[in-house]
Amino acid sequence: MTVPSPAAPSPAAPSPAAASPAASAPGATSPRGRQTAAGSTAQSDLMRAARGEPVERTPVWFMRQAGRSLPEYREVRSGVAMLDACMRPDLVVEITLQPVRRHGVDAAILFSDIVLPLKALGADLSIEPGVGPVIARPVRAMADVEALPAFEPEAMTFVAEAVQGVVAELGVTPLVGFAGAPYTLASYLIEGGPSKEHAKTKALMRGAPDVWHALMTRLADISGQFLRVQVDAGASAVQLFDSWAGGLSPADYRTHALPYSKMVFAIVADLDVPRIHFGVATGEILADMATAGVEVMGVDWRVPLDVAVTRIDASQAVQGNLDPTLVFAPWDVLEARAREVVVAGRAAPGHIFNLGHGVLPDTDPDVLTRLVELVHTLPVAD
């Protein structure tokens, strides 16, 4: 399924206004999908579901499908630091394709991390094994925000190269590009690393609105431009991860987080790719998240999909939402729950099957393969 590399896309558009219009040349973003020599991704089940059109089979992919659950991932990652791996196009192509080959999922997601653009732009941060992102100089004051790097398209050439390499191998299977939402990114920058309560983040958010606004605006630009780089290079859809936004009350979310996520989605609005919005424990803020300028709402396992559709726009597709711990249950229990998810998903105009959060590292990959096969056999309508 190897196809020629896309015709030299620019690594990044300097601003939405300067973006090239949709075109149908190989490698270009067509209005409804990605044109490659093997055909267009536009008619894939994933893209059709995202647009709310009928599908042959329910499309399925898994958040964190590339990663520690796969022995072939552990092998190629051995001795290479996480963010170094993300910056090597040869490794990114290989790791991104591994779960597609193994599970037969309907989409690839770029192997990267939400903090990668900050690292590529020069921020002093790393991903510590078993911990997560850690930043040397946490953001606490305006001077720290000003010291953060601004977006530079030249720093992203390796991302464009990796995306081009992936889509050349994927044929008509779409690649999902992604970025971190400003709130979730800010939580790592302010706390200095992973945190449960996000107390420092919320203190800065409420106590220093000018610093907060400056930080969130900067992060919105970086994430939006990072998504553009991926789409320009060949990604067919984008997902914004606001993993920790569910820790905010609806009022705080609306005031302090949503406006900046809207900025991110606005930066890619002209690219005509499906935009997916996801967070964890977001039941109370789903309605607000749905207003960010998105076609697909990701839902975690806490809210049944047929309930989620009553909280979002009737035109929006849904993505989710099997509890990721169900892979450790007996197969008949997992199968029954997966069937329930597919039936509940029919309440939306389109449904992309996924877990309600990322694949857990101890997951048996054979269970995921079997789950993909199951979902593909289930009827898409009553």
- Which stretches of the chain bind ligand 1CP, using CB under 6 A? 63-68, 82, 109, 111, 113-114, 127, 129, 132-133, 178, 184, 194, 241, 243, 358
Catalytic residue check, 88? no
Catalytic residue check, 370? no
Residue 276: phi, psi to the nearest 5?
-110, 140
The active-site residue, picked from 34, 45, 102, 188, is 188
The active-site residue, picked from 51, 68, 88, 337, is 68
Q: Which one, 40 or 300, has the nearer CB to ligand 1CP?
A: 300
Residue 251: phi, psi to the nearest 5?
-65, -45
CA angle 273, 275, 280 (to 5 degrees): 160
| Number of C-beta neighbours around residue 190 at 10 A | 24
The active-site residue, picked from 77, 218, 275, 311, is 77
- Give the nearest distance from C-beta 343 to ligand 1CP in angstroms: 26
Q: Which one, 108 or 344, has the nearer CB to ligand 1CP?
A: 108
- Give the nearest distance from C-beta 180 to ligand 1CP in angstroms: 6
- Give the nearest distance from C-beta 219 to ligand 1CP in angstroms: 14
Cα–Cα distance for residue pair 64/80, rounded to 1 Å: 18
Residue nearest to ligand 1CP (CB): 132
Catalytic residue check, 188? yes
Contact 352, 274 (CB under 8 A): no
- Give the nearest distance from C-beta 21 to ligand 1CP in angstroms: 29
Question: In sequence order, what are the residues at sequence separation of 6 or more whose Cβ sits closer than 8 angstroms to the Cβ of residue 59?
Answer: 44, 45, 46, 48, 49, 106, 107, 352, 353
Q: Which one, 129 or 330, has the nearer CB to ligand 1CP?
A: 129
Catalytic residue check, 275? no
Catalytic residue check, 221? no
DSSP string, 234-245: T-SEEEEE-TTG
- Give the nearest distance from C-beta 77 to ligand 1CP in angstroms: 6
Helix 182-191 and helix 199-207, axial crossing angle in degrees, nearest 10: 110
Cα–Cα distance for residue pair 216/214, rounded to 1 Å: 6
Q: Which amino acids are annotated catalytic?
A: 64, 68, 77, 113, 188
